[in-house]
Amino acid sequence: MAHITGTPAAPVSAVRAENKMGRGRWFREVGWRYIVAVFAILYAAFPIIYIISVSLNDSQLLAGSNDLFSDITTTNYAALGDTYFWNWVINTLFIGSVTAVGTVLMGAAAAYTFSRFRFKGRRFGLTALLVIQMFPQLLAFVAIYLLLLSLGEVVPVLGLDSRIALIMVYLGGALGVNTFLMYGFFNTIPVELDEAAKIDGATHAQIFWTIILRLVAPILAVVGLLSFISSFSDFLLAKLILVDQRNWTLAVGLYGWVSDQLEANWGLFAAGATISAIPVVLLFLFLQKYIVSGLTAGSVKG
């Protein structure tokens, strides 16, 4: 009767030593990253947990909310209805949404022009947009104030204390970095698609609206998200232009509740801050699948 022979089994001590070496190598190369990730998550989550705890505490002082969730009540959230908070929410969403849409359309049109057409002054125009964006709008806030002050005497809707005027100011700085970001992404779209559409009789407008914009949806989502967050969190320009409390944005209104140290209402501020974070989080989650591809694809081909 034939006997089946195989390789002899490794000693148990050798297997254990090999497992220990494998685990040690895994920890040195990969495992330590999990520990760092846990500390990073805790470090980032603590302020959020703390502000939620303050919003659920009846005390209006931060010192009285050091014990997390020691006193849970919805008094602060109910008190928001007696303020202009919901007016500020509507104003902020309106200004942020219109600014985001306008920024995307303006940036996409400019990027398509620079990417697909060759004309005199093209390179100079790209360079000029980049140089102009090196100087933020805040450097011109005095000029913006005086301009809107004079313009409001002729066209009140474009003067001070106007949401439309604030949107126009935001859109005035919409080009530049956004155009360069879109420009790199537009260059990744093959020109042969445009040429094939032209053979079929499509115009430049039809190519832009029906073909190109669908292919560059990731970068449009990224630019729209960045523009919305920028206008959503802006304080200085909104405070400069919007005068009436009913026209304020969330950044201006929430600051007003804690600007006076003697009368600061931190509970109301925390409740408003918690609610105001919801639109940005929802928008980020909705556009999350576009963000990585939109930020990286534009750097493949310049």
pLDDT at 294: 54
Identify whether residues 128 and 265 lie together within a single domain: yes
Q: How many domains does the chain contain in total?
A: 2
Alpha-carbon distance of 220 to 158, in angstroms, equals: 28
> By residue range, what is the domain housing residue 46?
17-75
Residue 251 in domain: yes
Domain boundary residue, one of 29, 47, 75: 75
Identify whether residues 101 and 169 lie together within a single domain: yes
Alpha-carbon distance of 106 to 302, in angstroms, equals: 20
3-state SS record for the chain: CCCCCCCCCCCHHHHHHHHHHHHHHHHHHHHHHHHHHHHHHHHHHHHHHHHHHHHCCCCCCCHHHCCCCCCCCCHHHHHHHHCCHHHHHHHHHHHHHHHHHHHHHHHHHHHHHHHHCCCCCHHHHHHHHHHHCCCCHHHHHHHHHHHHHHHHHHCHHHCCCCHHHHHHHHHHCCCCHHHHHHHHHHCCCCHHHHHHHHHCCCCHHHHHHHHHHHHCHHHHHHHHHHHHHHHHHCCHHHHHHCCCHHHCCHHHHHHHHHCCCCCCCHHHHHHHHHHHHHHHHHHHHHCHHHHHHHHHHHHCCC
Alpha-carbon distance of 61 to 75, in angstroms, equals: 14
pLDDT (tens place) for every residue of the chain, 302 residues total: 444 455 455 555 554 555 555 677 777 777 788 889 999 999 988 888 888 888 888 776 666 556 777 778 888 899 998 899 999 999 999 999 999 999 999 989 988 888 888 888 888 888 888 787 777 777 888 888 999 999 988 988 888 989 999 999 998 877 777 788 888 888 888 888 888 888 888 888 888 898 888 888 888 988 999 899 999 989 999 999 999 999 999 999 999 898 877 777 888 999 999 999 999 999 888 887 777 665 555 444 44
Identify whether residues 89 and 109 lie together within a single domain: yes
Instruction: Pick left, alpha or beta for residue 169 (phi over 0 → left; psi -120 to 50 → alpha; otherwise beta).
Output: alpha
Identify whether residues 102 and 219 lie together within a single domain: yes
pLDDT at 2: 47
Give the CATH number of the domain where residue 126 resides. 1.10.3720.10
Contact 150, 186 (CB under 8 A): no
pLDDT at 298: 47
Rounded to the nearest angstrom, the gap between the alpha carbon of residue 119 and the centroid of all alpha carbons in its chain is 33
Residue 112 in domain: yes
pLDDT at 13: 55
